[in-house]
Structure 1
């Protein structure tokens, strides 16, 4: 995949949401390759900041109101070839539920030690480091 291909496809913004000692993961109805469980995420719209896209996608998919706290990093995802940005977010209000049943099959609040059961291929290293710190008990 060339840089031009990446530039023509919208980036994907993911929200890494830690609340009450767990991180929110969602399972998409349609998997992307090996990806099944992942963070709430979606395409960045033209003119939209990555952090704003992560907040918007979280609200649309899960009904949670969140605020961006910190940009954790970005990469070309090894399984999808899409440019991914990861934003740490905090919960402002609401209760997480499957708000977009066309996109999501289910969601789960996952403890640090349970993450490998949901994401067996591992997380992007800056995200893992953030979760190691944020979920340390």
Structure 2
């Protein structure tokens, strides 16, 4: 898919009952071999929330629900590409289900304690920074909302 010079991606953070974070090691790209959150680009016809849940399912096999938004990552690559990511806190639907890495994209998936992630040299910068801050949750509670038929939205959701 051609993305042009404005990219929109979504990531999902899952935290288990012991406070461990679900992380993956990608087989490609700038995060190859690094612990990072399951993430990927938003596809045509889906919301960022749907993309976050889809990416987690594709990369780990886990079904999730969105609890809310915990952050935004935004940058510009080589003065040309606007690279943006919305980070969601997700909850696992079936706690008995074990994560399984997608063989095509992911070399490893694991639940890791924050301390372990901070000490690991293979942990992404974004995860290091996320752990340092006590994030607030922008909860989703206004679905469905109808902004007006004249806009033509087929999906519309607010996070506050």
| TM-score, normalised with respect to structure 2 | 0.66
Q: Distance in 2 between matches of 1:51 and 1:120?
A: 22
Residue 36 of structure 1, CA deviation? 1.9
Residue 128 of structure 1, CA deviation? 4.0
Instruction: List gaps (5 residues or longer) in structure 1.
Output: 132-137
Asked if 1:15 is matched to 2:16, the reply is no
Instruction: List gaps (5 residues or longer) in structure 2.
Output: 137-160
Residue 127 of structure 1, CA deviation? 8.3
> 1:83-98 alignment to 2 at 5 Å?
83-93=84-94, 94-98=97-101
> 1:70-109 alignment to 2 at 5 Å?
70-77=68-75, 82-93=83-94, 94-98=97-101, 100-109=102-111
Secondary structure of residue in 1 paired with 2:93: strand
**Of 28-37 and 43-52, the range deviating more from structure 2:** 28-37
Secondary structure of residue in 2 paired with 1:74: strand
Distance change (3 Å), C-alpha of 1:122 and 1:74: closer
Q: Distance in 2 between matches of 1:74 and 1:109?
A: 23
Contact 1:72/1:126 (CA < 8 Å) preserved in 2? no
**Of 27-36 and 37-46, the range deviating more from structure 2:** 27-36
2:5 equivalent in structure 1: 5
Q: Distance in 2 between matches of 1:90 and 1:28?
A: 22
**Of 84-93 and 27-36, the range deviating more from structure 2:** 27-36
2:46 equivalent in structure 1: 48
1:61 equivalent in structure 2: 59
Distance change (3 Å), C-alpha of 1:52 and 1:110: same
Distance change (3 Å), C-alpha of 1:63 and 1:122: closer
Residue 75 of structure 1, CA deviation? 2.2
Q: Distance in 2 between matches of 1:95 and 1:33?
A: 23
| TM-score, normalised with respect to structure 1 | 0.76
